[in-house]
Amino acid sequence: MTATTLRRTKAIQNGQIISGTGITLGIILAITLLSHLPWGWMRPVTHFVASHPLLNALVSAAIVSNIVALQCLVLIWLERKFAGWMQARLGPMHVGWKGTFQTVADAVKLLLKEDIVPTDADRPLFVVAPYLVFVPSLLTFMVLPFTAAWVGYDYSLGALFVLSISAMSILGVFAAGWGSNNKYSLLGGVRAVAQLLSYDIPLILSVLSVVMLSGTMSLTRIVLMQSHAWNVVAHPFLMVPAFLIFLICTLAEVNRAPFDLPEAESELVSGFHTEYSGMRFAFFFLAEFANNFFSAGLAVTLFFGGWLGAGLPAALWFTLKTLLVICLMMWIRWTLPRLRIDQMMAFCWKMLVPAGLVLLCATAIATVTK
């Protein structure tokens, strides 16, 4: 590689770091300003909404839906810029400053595209599948605590709710593969169901270890139990392996490399959503990035103290920790090659499931003897 090429590569990487830092600081500034605004004038409105359960549910759902949509736009841009930095290229640059509005342009493009349903498809399954994938992803955000006050619904069985509702997306994935009446889609759907069901088991075992150690299924209470020390700091021999199992299973659950076998483009074109176009395809895409943020946020909640931290607003601490976990997931995606399907399944059943069972038993012993 020549000196000129090296200088150009270095300049590209530096440009990516500068633009990414600028956008991140802008998000931090916005969250900080929101935290310091005088929200007291809204108390009559919040009291009125809270006194009407149906209205409260509609307002909470609207707020959570907008947060999910906004973070998906930001994460898609961040993913492209991170990939560009990892591969010494620019990424999106032309729409807005440093490509800031590229994802907005993509959203408009998808809205304007024709909605095509294959002639021989099972139309009811084909139509309902994107919603069966996206709606569970949206519902999980209802119990994710950004702070003690910023939580859609502080459910006492939050961990159980998250594990159960997130598994419902498997129905949508299989419905998309079967309803498309396409061999590639069907194989992608079968792969996805096998992968999701398999990796759900060690994921549940790692979450149950945290629940057992904390003595509660409430996600808010789990964070408050870490007020003196994060779980990975207070119980490193138990919680560090639990976090690693959780992270690996999360990558498999959200179909990210090296576990993106359900939509392996070199084999299956695009997997279970090969036949989808326009906004129906966008729902699958939104669900993937929504799950990405939620999984990182759940990891922060379970292992890294959630919103707890000194010197900064609670929501800002949660956002920063979540972004760090997301960047770790992106780093893994753009570094490791894709596994074979047999390697992926063997790794789950021969490594992660036994490790999860050992971890659960060790946590039970530690809980009883402390």
pTM (2 d.p.): 0.86
Whole-number average pLDDT of the chain: 84
In tens, the pLDDT along 108-152 reads 888 888 888 888 888 888 888 998 888 888 888 889 998 888 887
Cα separation, 3 vs 21, in Å, equals 27
Asked if residue 359 has pLDDT above 90, the reply is yes
Q: How confident is the model at residue 28 (pLDDT cuts 50, 70, 90)?
A: low
Within a 10 A sphere around the Cβ of 14, how many other Cβ atoms? 11
Give me the DSSP letters along 144-201.
--SSSS--S---TTHHHHHHHHHTTHHHHHHHHHHHTT-HHHHHHHHHHHHHHHHHHH
Asked if residue 270 has pLDDT above 80, the reply is no
Asked if residue 1 has pLDDT above 60, the reply is no
**What are the sequence ranges of the domains in the chain?**
1-108, 113-369
- Look at residue 155 in the predicted model and tell me its pLDDT: 85
DSSP-H helix ranges across 52-157: 53-86, 102-112, 123-140
Within a 10 A sphere around the Cβ of 36, how many other Cβ atoms? 9
Q: Is the dihedral of CA 295, 301, 305, 308 positive or negative?
A: positive
Q: Structure tokens of 314?
A: 């609670």
Cα separation, 84 vs 98, in Å, equals 12
Burial of 159 (0-12, 13-18, 19+ CB in 10 A): buried
Is the separation of the CB atoms in 13 and 88 below 8 Å? yes
Q: Is the dihedral of CA 356, 357, 360, 363 positive or negative?
A: negative
